[in-house]
Amino acid sequence: MNITQDKKKRKFTLSLDGESATISYKIEKKNAFLTYSNVPDSFRGRGIGKFLVLKIYEKLIEEGYNPIPICRYLKAVIRNNINSQEISTK
C-alpha cells in the first residue's frame, strides 16, 4: 500500500481501488497536528484506518516531528497501539 503526501493540501492519502483514505494535518514548528481522518465506508472495518494512522505516526517521528492527534479516532488508535512512554517523551 502506497501512501502519498500532499504538502500543499496538508494531507496524506492512501489510494484504494479508485477511492482514498486520508489524514489531514497542520505543522507548527516541530508539532504535527493530525486533525482529521477519513476511510471510505466500503473499506471500513478492515484495519486500513489503523494502518494509515500508524504509518503516518512513524513517518512523522522519523522526520523529527511530534505527532499530536486531534480527532477522536486518531487519538484512540495512537493510544491503543503506541507505547505510552514513547508518546509522553516526544
CATH number for the domain harbouring residue 46: 3.40.630.30
Range of the domain at 28: 3-84
Work out the angle between the directed axes of helices 48-62 and 72-81 (0-180°, nearest 10).
80
At residue 89, the pLDDT reads 37
Task: Please tell me the pTM assigned to this model.
Answer: 0.85
At residue 85, the pLDDT reads 44
Mean pLDDT estimate for the chain:
91
- Note whether residue 89 is domain-resident: no
pLDDT in tens, 10-33: 999 999 989 999 999 999 999 999
- Note whether residue 37 is domain-resident: yes
- Note whether residue 10 is domain-resident: yes
At residue 87, the pLDDT reads 46
At residue 26, the pLDDT reads 97
Domain count, the chain: 1
Residue 30 CA to residue 18 CA, distance in Å, equals 33
